[in-house]
Amino acid sequence: MDLDELTLETAKPLAGTVFEVALPDGGTTTLKLDETLAFEPGGRMPRGMRTHAGRTPFSLYFVGPPSVVLPQGTYTLRSERVTWDRLFIVPIGRDDEATEYEAVFT
């Protein structure tokens, strides 16, 4: 699926999907799409943030194992349902149960 065509509506049904992520050292890890959320109306919108081709801005939240923290960067996420090439994710939290990541779409 082309990320330019991804919308909140097309992403929501993928919640719960587990993706395999290739690591730079040749290994792999998994990330589960935990949640998809639109930016709140009236919330702060950073300067210069515009919608892309009429797309409502949204975020994807992933959880992965707590033992692996992927640095912010571009990754390919593969599942049986969809592959996303060059998805930019940022680690945003970590506890004993998981590491959480966010991908923002404008």
Confidence class for position 43, pLDDT limits 50, 70, 90? low
- Our CA dihedral for 91, 102, 50, 81, rounded to 10 degrees, sits at 140
For 78-97, what is the mean pLDDT?
96
Beta strands in the chain (DSSP E): 18-22, 28-38, 58-64, 73-78, 83-94, 99-105
Confidence class for position 79, pLDDT limits 50, 70, 90? very high
Q: Count of domains in the chain?
A: 1
Residue 19 sits in which domain range? 3-105
Global pTM reads: 0.87
> Is residue 54 scored above 90 in pLDDT?
no
- The CATH number for 72's domain is 2.40.10
